Amino acid sequence: MNCEELRTLVGAEPNSTNPEVLAHIESCPECARYRQELQAMDRLIYRALAVEAPTETIASPPKQTQNPSRVWRMAASVLIAVLVGAMSLWLLTPRESFAAEAINHVKHEQFSLVRTSETVDDQELEAVLAASRLRLKPGAAKVSYAQSCPFRGQRVPHLVVQTEQGPVTALVVTDAPTQGREHIDEQGFQGEIIPAPRGVIVVLGQNVPVDAVARTLLSALEY
């Protein structure tokens, strides 16, 4: 189970005792903290839902004064609405930067970052790209790894391109907000987030230049 899959599952059930969830959070502090925050929000909402109106007897108020029980119920309803809205906003707010998420995804498939002369089968590569309505011009790049992976709620082509300096990873994220070019230098990875005809392309290497791969994909990918 990777981070994307865990956060989808825990987002629906913060108190899940799924063995895969428990095993993952033991080795991933970020996901463990994410689960704890969701559980804390769950408890807060539960306490708000458990609010009861006062039961003590109150003398008949003047006509212009509202019934205290009614006021209490209205206040509780407003509190619940605010909490639910806040939780929805919190869940929709990215917990990590785009670059950090891309790096964490690549690190989960670190085994793919090896020098090799082997390339993936043309039909396999074509199928991975076709799932995102993409096509790579034949012979444009030496792709040694190609998978359709979950990333930010969608499936994206995850490619590893072999260069003379070493392997370079590319995530072709077709459904992403428009943004300018962004340099990445985090956690031992260097790379770029590059605007594309649809979405962006994230290219990452470890002490390996990525510009040539970025240019190749921008010119050779057909959207």
Q: Are residues 130 and 192 in the same domain?
A: yes
pLDDT of 178-218, one tens digit each?
A: 778 999 999 999 999 999 999 999 999 999 999 999 999 99
Q: How far apart are CA 162 and CA 140, in angstroms?
A: 11
**Residue that is last in its domain, among 29, 64, 92:** 92
- 118 and 216 housed in the same domain: yes
Q: What is the DSSP string of 25-89?
A: HHH-HHHHHHHHHHHHHHHHHHHHHT-----S--PPPPTTSPPHHHHHHHHHHHHHHHHHHHHHH
Q: In what order do the strands lie in the sheet with 154-163?
A: 143-151, 154-163, 166-173, 200-205, 189-195, 182-186
| Residue 177 domain boundaries | 98-103+110-222
Name the least confident of 37-41, 117-121, 191-195.
Answer: 37-41
Same domain, 17 and 73: yes
Q: Are residues 212 and 128 in the same domain?
A: yes
87 and 134 inside one domain = no
Whether 163 contacts 212, CB under 8 Å? yes
Is the domain of 82 the same as that of 152?
A: no
Q: Which residue has the higher pLDDT, 142 or 60?
A: 142
Q: Considering only CA atoms, give the Rg of the chain.
A: 25
Tally of domains in the chain: 2
pLDDT category of residue 50 using cuts at 50, 70 and 90:
low
For residue 90, what pLDDT band results from cuts at 50, 70 and 90? very low
Distance CA 113, CA 193 (A): 19
Structure tokens at 149: 């992976």
Long-range CB pairs of 120-126, under 8 A, 24+ apart, other chains included: 120/144, 120/145, 120/146
CATH number at residue 215: 3.30.200
Same domain, 205 and 119: yes
| Pair (151, 88) in one structural domain | no
What's residue 42's pLDDT?
Answer: 72
- Which residue, 59, 92, 125, sits at the end of a domain? 92
* 168 beta partners: 161
Residue 114 shares a structural domain with residue 88: no
What are the beta bridge partners of residue 81?
none
Strands 166-173 and 182-186 turn out to be unpaired
Residue with token string 């490619």 = 159
Q: Give residue 94's pLDDT.
A: 43
45-71: average pLDDT: 57
Instruction: Judge contact between 168 and 204, C-beta under 8 A.
Output: yes
User: If DSSP codes are grouped into helix, strand and coil, which group holds residue 95?
Assistant: coil
Quick one: 81 and 120 in the same domain?
no
Same domain, residue pair 88 and 136:
no
Average pLDDT, the chain: 83
Residues 88 and 114 both lie in one domain: no
